[in-house]
Structure 1
Amino acid sequence: MRRILKKILKKSPSSNQDGVFFEKISQILGFKPNTLKYYEKAFTHRSANKLDEKGNPISYERLEFLGDAMLGSVIAAHLYNKVPTGDEGYLTKMRSKIVSREHLNELGRDFKLVQFVESKVNPSHFGDNIHGNIFEAFIGAIYLDKGFEYCEKFIHEKIIKQYVNIERLEGKVISYKSLIIEWCQKEKKSFRFDVFEDNGKEGIKYFGVKLFIDEEVVSKARATSKKKAEETASKRAFFALQDLIEKKQ
């Protein structure tokens, strides 16, 4: 009897944790999961240094790859059926907007998935993209746990119905840099991004950028990464040249 009691006391903390995790995941899913280990893996950051029974590292990154494929296929099928007049270019562009990093980060935040992440990194040091990454991993976990039918249903019920508005997405710009480059190429205008380090007095590494079109500076920006600085400069250039750009679209 004493041995049995010891076993129960040993197991109770983890059992209670699993119970809380199970309930929270069930609420998000809208159905009960079969195997929690897939969801646990979906929230394991590589810094946790966990290994499976075969000695392979455990992290959400492989599930992220799988979830990306599941999302892409379900969204593609939805758009194909929803917009029968859309050509390949239109459908590709719309799918890109729905599964853009910005949109996936928004979904990850709305579902509050970061609360489940197991990591040795302080959460304040996570980049913005962790929200979208673990959201994709979560989709991958659903597929492994319940199969394609449940995965498709979750994407339709929780994402497409609540977040996908075709008319609004048609006017949404997901990359101002791509838009500016495309316009310059179409109009046969030269362009270049001059990027330089601009650290100032903040003690943080910054990058400055000047966007030249036909050898004239049309916008400037400053950010903590080259990519962000170029995107901000492109956005400013778009609004400065909006009338000209929209006339040609």
Structure 2
Amino acid sequence: MGFINKILFSKSRSHEDGIFFSDLKKILGFDPINTDYYKKAFTHRSSNKLDEKGNPINYERLEFLGDAMLGSVIAAHLFSKAPGGDEGYLTKMRSKIVSREHLNELGRDLNLAKFIESKIPLAHFGENIHGNVFEALIGAIYLDRGYLFCEKFIHTRVIIPYVDIAKLEGKVISYKSLLIEWCQKEKKHFHYDVFEDNALDGQRLYGVKLSINGKVIAKARATSKKKAEEKASQRAYFAFQEKINRK
């Protein structure tokens, strides 16, 4: 009986591996060789898995590697396609492409969350989980197939569909940073007054009042201080847009 259960279990796992391989191949555009790298790329630390040496098995180290690979491929592309851009320009453009917001969008578009193995429900994760596993996937590709396959994947999934240099030049990735830079340049005093607030359904929110030279310019509410400050900064930006964009 135990032998039969073992066979059934083995067939079940093989079936799951087959589905994983098939779904992964559609995303990658090529056959993965060692699927263990990719399984690790989708393993959250809450799974509490360890390898034979007692090292944790999760996507965090792969995320680090993938971030480096992504940055290098994007840097090479910009260096080639923007020959007139200086170091500051290239750095700013790369930051726009690999911004956390954009990486989260890439992870969501590929529906990578469906692969995540975790003891925590997906609904309890923040938005960054999508970008984290996207970077981890790139790290897994590098270990499995090397730099050229990694480069090809980034070109196919990131550069071709999303990287338009002309559009990126006008894209704002942080209204708060833009506004602070303008205030400092114009010697204007700014202040973010942050306070906790509650929605009608009891959800904890954060309210922000943004003042410039002692006058409240914008207000906003969001589920985190960072989001509330960014939202208020965006509203203030549109109030001063002509002055901020003036050369």
TM-score w.r.t. the length of structure 2 is 0.95
Look up the match of 2:37: 38
Aligned: 1:74 with 2:76: no
Aligned: 1:99 with 2:83: no
Residue type at the aligned position of 1:244 = K
Counterpart-to-counterpart distance in 2, 1:7 and 1:130: 35
Shift of 1:214: 1.1
Bigger CA drift: 193-202 or 48-57? Answer: 193-202
Look up the match of 2:125: 126
Look up the match of 1:214: 213
**Secondary structure class of the residue paired with 1:247:** coil
Q: Residues 178 and 7 (structure 1 numbering): CA distance in 2 closer, same or farther, change over 3 Å?
A: same
Identity score, percent:
68
Bigger CA drift: 75-84 or 157-166? Answer: 157-166
Counterpart-to-counterpart distance in 1, 2:124 and 2:192: 29
Per-residue deviation, residues 51-73 of structure 1 (Å, max 9, x unmatched) = 11211111111111111110001
CA RMSD of aligned residues (A): 1.6
Look up the match of 2:17: 18
Bigger CA drift: 21-30 or 191-200? Answer: 191-200
Look up the match of 1:231: 230
Counterpart-to-counterpart distance in 1, 2:19 and 2:197: 47
Q: Give runs of aligned pairs for residues 182-197 of structure 1, distance below 5 A.
A: 182-197=181-196
Q: Residues 6 and 210 (structure 1 numbering): CA distance in 2 closer, same or farther, change over 3 Å?
A: closer
Per-residue deviation, residues 159-218 of structure 1 (Å, max 9, x unmatched) = 111111111111110000000001111111111111111225432221111111111111
Total equivalences in the alignment: 247
Counterpart-to-counterpart distance in 1, 2:123 and 2:196: 25
Counterpart-to-counterpart distance in 2, 1:211 and 1:204: 22
Query: Structure 2 stretches of 5 or more lacking a match?
Result: none
Aligned: 1:161 with 2:152: no
Bigger CA drift: 25-34 or 200-209? Answer: 200-209
Counterpart-to-counterpart distance in 2, 1:170 and 1:43: 33
**Secondary structure class of the residue paired with 1:121:** coil
Look up the match of 1:152: 151
Residue type at the aligned position of 1:142 = I
Residue type at the aligned position of 2:68 = A
Look up the match of 1:111: 110
Look up the match of 1:27: 26
Counterpart-to-counterpart distance in 2, 1:133 and 1:200: 30
Counterpart-to-counterpart distance in 1, 2:206 and 2:115: 33
Counterpart-to-counterpart distance in 2, 1:206 and 1:3: 54
Shift of 1:10: 3.6
Counterpart-to-counterpart distance in 1, 2:168 and 2:5: 58
Counterpart-to-counterpart distance in 2, 1:5 and 1:195: 63
Bigger CA drift: 175-184 or 198-207? Answer: 198-207
Query: Structure 1 stretches of 5 or more lacking a match?
Result: none
**Secondary structure class of the residue paired with 1:206:** strand
**Secondary structure class of the residue paired with 2:220:** strand
**Secondary structure class of the residue paired with 2:161:** helix
Residue type at the aligned position of 1:24 = D
Aligned: 1:142 with 2:163: no
TM-score w.r.t. the length of structure 1 is 0.95
**Secondary structure class of the residue paired with 1:85:** coil
Shift of 1:41: 0.5
